[in-house]
A = this chain, B = another copy of it.
Amino acid sequence: MGTNNMMQKNYYAVIEAGGTKFNCAIVDEQRNLHAQTRIATTEPDETLALVIEFFQQQRTTFYFDKLGLACFGPVDLNPRSSTFGHITATPKPNWSNTAILSRLKDGLDCEVFIDTDVNAAALAEHHWGAAQNTSVSIYITIGTGVGGGVIVNGTPLHGLIHPEIGHMLIPAPEGIQGACPFHGNCVEGLASGTAMGKIWQQSAETLSDDHQAWDIQAQVLARLCHNLIVGYSAEKIVFGGGVMAKPNLLDKVIAYTQTSLAEYVTFPQGSSLHNIICLPGLGQHSGLFGGLALILAKP
Binding site for B on A (CB under 8 A): 74, 76, 78, 81, 88-89, 134-136, 150, 152-153, 155, 157-172, 182-183, 185-186, 223, 226-227, 229-235, 260-268, 271, 276
Contact = CB atoms under 8 A, between A and B. Distances in A.
B153 A136 contact: no
Nearest to A76: B268
A160 B271 contact: yes
Nearest to A163: B233
A227 B227 contact: yes
B268 A230 contact: no
B183 A264 contact: yes
Q: State how many copies of this chain the complex holds.
A: 2
A167 to B, nearest CB: 4
Given A158-B136, A183-B264, A264-B182, A167 B234 contact: no
Contacts of A88: 266
A45 B213 CA distance: 54
A164 B265 contact: yes
Contacts of A161: 233, 265-268
A61 B221 CA distance: 57
Contact of A266 (B74, B183, B230): B74
Contacts of A264: 164, 167, 182-183
A259 to B, nearest CB: 11
Contacts of A76: 268
